Structure 1
Amino acid sequence: MKNKLIRLYATENRSFEYDPEIPCINSTGDGFMLSKEFRDFMEIGLELIGEKIRENGKLGWLIDARYMEVIDQNDKGWVVSHWNQRAYEIGLRFVAFILPDNVFTLMNIEEYTTQSGESSGLTIQHFDDMESARNWLKEVI
């Protein structure tokens, strides 16, 4: 039986879905986001993470970046210096990225991961496909 994802929030080209089997929140998107749109989306993600951690006691964060474009350097810095800490404080520990083919977006994700480092408290892993990312999250959550 195919896993049933629950849509939590969506815009025209972004969404958050809850996967109760793991449990995790899947963040998916297509294309570029302006700074305000990106930060607003990530703030909503934090609210949803907090809600689901309160419900489950644990949660993973799965970012499907296959169709996303590069995040502005200032926004990446904001995630590293502000968002990560707040996510950790509410209980997030494990983040899985499904990597894009776009080399610039890939470099952006690798920079984010390096800059986040161990100081964030988050364990961040990269995967080539959804199945591998889901399997890893199932093991560590």
Structure 2
Amino acid sequence: MKNNLIRLHATESRFFEYDPEIPCINSTGNGFMLSDEFRSFMERGLELIREKIKENGKLGWLIDARYMEVIDPNDKEWVVSHWNRRAYEVGLRFVAFILPDNIFTLMNIEEYTEESGESGGLTIQHFDDMESARNWLKEVV
């Protein structure tokens, strides 16, 4: 199944694509990111979320974490405490993670999800494959 994905932004190891069928922004990456690079990438993602919600009135966020590595605990806390709230304020409600095989990255995502759930706002679900994540977002967005 080939989707009509539109590349919105790319760095050396990460990119954002827009999937108009859902609609959602896919965040895909490979490897580890230093804190400054990670936060800058996430800030760019927030700008793209804001733009696409203005265009569509709604939007999902799909994170393909299959090839990502652990995020620094301070960066995870920053996302939970700051980024999530701002994303919610611009209209984001639903986040889908495609889970990695790497147990440490998986634990990192599970901690993020638990801490995000405690602070309210975003609905976050985990999936083993792209199709399941996309199908869920199609239903809820």
TM-score band (shorter)?
over 0.9
Alignment of 1:116-135 (within 5 A): 116-135=116-135
Distance (Å, rounded) in 1 between the aligned partners of 2:60 and 2:118: 17
Whichever residue aligns with residue 119 of structure 1, its letter is S
Maintained 8 Å contact 1:25/1:61:
yes
Alignment of 1:1-141 (within 5 A): 2-141=2-141
Superposed CA deviations along residues 81-100 of structure 1, whole A, max 9, x for unmatched, are 00000000000000000000
Q: CA RMSD in A?
A: 0.8
CA distance in 2, matches of 1:55, 1:35: 30
CA distance in 2, matches of 1:75, 1:4: 32
Task: Tell me the TM-score normalised to structure 2 length.
Answer: 0.98
Instruction: Give 5+ residue unaligned stretches, structure 1.
Output: none
Give identity over the alignment, percent: 87
Greater than 4 Å deviation, 4+ residue runs: none
TM-score, normalised by the number of residues in structure 1: 0.98
CA deviations on 1:90-116 (whole Å, 9 max, x unpaired) are 000000000000000000000000000
The offset of 1:12, in angstroms, is 1.0
Q: 8 Å contact 1:84–1:120 — kept in the other structure?
A: no
After superposition, give the CA deviation of every residue in 1:48-89 in whole Å (9 maximum; x if it has no partner).
Answer: 000000000000000000000000000000000000000000
Q: How many residues align?
A: 141
CA distance in 1, matches of 2:108, 2:60: 21
